[in-house]
A and B are shown apart, each in its own frame.
Chain A
Amino acid sequence: MYKEIFSIINKEFLYFIRQNKVIFFEIILPITSFLPLILTVWFLEGNTSYENFAYFVGTEHINNYYVIAFFGFIFFNISENLATLLERELYLNTLEQILLTPIKYISIIIGWFIYLCIKSIIYITVFYILAILIIDTSVVNIPLLLIGFTLMMLHSFILGTVMVIITLYLRKADAIIFTLVGILPIISCIVFPIQILPLSIQLISKLLPTTYLFDLIKYSLSGSRMIFDVWVTVLILFISSLIMFFLSIIFYKKSFERLKICGIMKY
């Protein structure tokens, strides 16, 4: 299995390296994506009073608080790209060949996930260097941030698997995935506290594990007010991730095996 996973990672890196133009753009993507955010925070910091922000969020660490947007970017980038990688194989008509090789269904998705994680860690390093140099950020609770980051990766894998299942079923699922990626950050309250949402949406937000996930990371970054206590949040996340992990893997296995039997054309 390790060899299979390694071969998938190797394949993706070889594919990545072959495209000279894209490498350059992939490297500068985190910089260009986050400069607008950094500049907006800088502008708001110098142009507005903290009172309202502190009242809602429970902290005055505005710079630290907005670093969460980057974690959100990584989270959704991994999930969305898992589906995009599958879509690419569908589009290039190579999925059928992959299906017929002895590679296991789980090795494919884990290989893609590890490849995306490596890219994300590079992004995070570049971003943090920029953030520390430009907007003077720090972390309030590093061990908790590491726990939050690990849980975030696990959740991004789960969401990515769900998106892969959607793509396998619908084949042309770009718009649904874009919508999911558009709506989830809002309902999960990534860059604002839950109290700012209308009451009806707050109820929906509280049903999503991603709300607690980003709540935990925001707390570890800036010491912001939380919905529940730290350990209750960690427990909720741990249990929800376990349940969803197994559910997503079961559904992924089912759709993959069905695809293996029917083939792409009849699927």
Chain B
Amino acid sequence: MENTQEKRRILIIDDEAGFTRMVKLNLEKAGPYEVREENRALHAVAAAREFKPDLILLDVIMPAMDGGDVAAKIKNDPHLRGTPIVFLTATVTVREAGKAGLNAGGDLFLAKPISVDALIEVIHKHARPPEPPAEKAGPA
């Protein structure tokens, strides 16, 4: 493993466990990524607070709570505010997403199925650069 400090932290929130595992496998195999899976939408915010990701991959349609609500909570959270979110959607088109009020923050959407190359390209473009270790170690 390389220096963990330099790894990008990616949180993927999706109820499809097979998919989150594939993303984790691919990303961690392909580059300096640390991927954390969360398959329960209700635990998404807590997981994000704890993990402090550089980018969140967020499924739109999930049981109990959909991606839009999760995103809203994250954006309203003072510790998580500013974390880039990339929506992953299996059904809705961009226009549909707009209708659902999901593009309010100029968020990015990726339609499933998505290739590993495309995913890496998006993450590379939008993920927050890694925080300095001092700040990261400091109190929240």
Partners in one complex: no
Binding site for A on B (CB under 8 A): none
